[in-house]
Amino acid sequence: MKAQSGIKKQKGFSTLEMMIAFALMLIALSGAISAAFSAQYWSITSQTSNEALYKAKTNLEILRANAKGDFYTATSTHFHPDNCVAGQLCYYSETKVSDLSNCSKYATTQISWKVTGYPTTTTSLATNLTNVDEAVRLGGDCLLNQPAGSWDTHVPVSSGELNFNPGKKFSGLDILHKKIYVIATSTPYFMVYDIPNTNISNPTPIGSINGDGKQLNAIDTYEDLSTGRKYAFVAENSTSLQLGVIDITDSNNPEMVKEISLSGITSPGTLSEGWRIFAYGGRLYITCRDTAGHEFHIFNINIPTQPSEIGDGYELTRTITDMVIREQTINGAVHRFAFLASSADTKELSVLDITNDIVSEIISVDLPGSADAKSIFILGNTLYLGRENNTSGPELYAFDATNPLLGLPQLGSAEFGADVDRIKVSGNYLFAVVYKLFNESSNEVQVWSSDYTLWNTGRLQSYGFSNLAPLGLDIDEDNVYVASYLTSNDSIKVLKAP
> Are residues 167 and 115 part of one domain?
no
Please give the order of strands across the beta sheet that includes 410-414.
373-379, 382-387, 396-400, 410-414
Which sign, positive or negative, has the C-alpha torsion 364, 368, 371, 373?
Answer: negative
Distance CA 218, CA 7 (A): 117
**Peptide bond between residue 268 and the one before it cis (omega within 30 degrees of 0):** yes
Share of the chain above pLDDT 70, in %: 84
Residue 8 lies in a domain: no
> Are residues 115 and 210 part of one domain?
no
| Cβ-contact 191, 493 below 8 angstroms | no
Write down the pLDDT at residue 168.
73
Query: Which whole number is the average pLDDT over 269-277?
Result: 91
> Are residues 94 and 215 part of one domain?
no
Among candidate residues 210, 273, 263, the one with its CA nearest the CA of residue 236: 273
Of 67, 98, 130, at which residue does a domain stop?
A: 130
> Are residues 201 and 343 part of one domain?
yes
Share of the chain above pLDDT 90, in %: 59
Residue 478 lies in a domain: yes
Of 130, 151, 176, at which residue does a domain stop?
A: 130
> Are residues 279 and 208 part of one domain?
yes
Residue 7 lies in a domain: no
64 vs 398, more confident: 398
User: Backbone phi, then psi, for 62, in 5-degree steps?
Assistant: -65, -45
Paired strand residues for 375: 386
* Residues in Cβ contact with 376 at an 8 Å cutoff, skipping those fewer than 6 apart: 322, 323, 324, 339, 340, 341, 349, 383, 384, 385, 386, 423
If residue 62 lies in a helix (H) or strand (E), which one and from where to where?
helix 15-69
Among candidate residues 242, 240, 419, the one with its CA nearest the CA of residue 321: 419
Q: What is the DSSP letter of 35?
A: H
> Are residues 240 and 196 part of one domain?
yes
Residue 260 lies in a domain: yes
Per-residue pLDDT band at 438 (split at 50, 70, 90): very low
User: Backbone phi, then psi, for 165, in 5-degree steps?
Assistant: -140, 115
124 vs 27, more confident: 124
> Are residues 251 and 148 part of one domain?
yes
Per-residue pLDDT band at 21 (split at 50, 70, 90): low
> Are residues 356 and 258 part of one domain?
yes
Write down the pLDDT at residue 1.
44
Model confidence over 251-265: pLDDT tens digits? 999 999 999 999 998
Of 99, 130, 161, at which residue does a domain stop?
A: 130
Per-residue pLDDT band at 17 (split at 50, 70, 90): low
Residue 3 lies in a domain: no
Query: Which whole number is the average pLDDT over 402-430?
Result: 96
CB under 8 A, 24+ apart: contacts of 307-311: 307/243, 307/245, 307/258, 307/260, 309/260, 309/262, 309/263, 310/283, 310/357, 311/263, 311/264, 311/357
Residue 20 lies in a domain: no
SS3 472: strand
140-160 burial, b at 16+ Cβ within 10 Å, e below that, comes to bbbbeebbebebeeeebeebb
Among candidate residues 117, 9, 125, the one with its CA nearest the CA of residue 58: 125
If residue 170 lies in a helix (H) or strand (E), which one and from where to where?
strand 170-176
> Are residues 33 and 148 part of one domain?
no
Q: What is the DSSP letter of 21?
A: H
Residue 351: which CATH number?
Answer: 2.130.10.10
Residue 16 lies in a domain: no
Least confident interval from 182-196, 197-211, 347-361, 381-395? 197-211
Model confidence over 175-229: pLDDT tens digits? 999 899 999 888 889 999 988 765 566 678 889 998 778 899 999 999 998 999 9
How many of the other CB atoms lie within 10 Å of CB of 17? 10
Q: Is the pLDDT of residue 172 over 50?
A: yes
Write down the pLDDT at residue 33.
47
Write down the pLDDT at residue 2.
47
Among candidate residues 235, 244, 305, the one with its CA nearest the CA of residue 274: 235
The total number of structural domains in the chain stands at: 2
Q: What is the DSSP letter of 87?
A: T
> Are residues 141 and 106 part of one domain?
no
Note down the domain range covering 85: 28-130
* Number of helical H runs and strand E runs in the chain: 2, 32
Residue 301 lies in a domain: yes
Distance CA 305, CA 233 (A): 10
Q: Is the pLDDT of residue 12 over 80?
A: no
| Cα angle, residue 370 at apex, residues 377 and 313 outer, rounded to 5° | 55
> Are residues 47 and 152 part of one domain?
no
> Are residues 164 and 95 part of one domain?
no
Per-residue pLDDT band at 7 (split at 50, 70, 90): very low
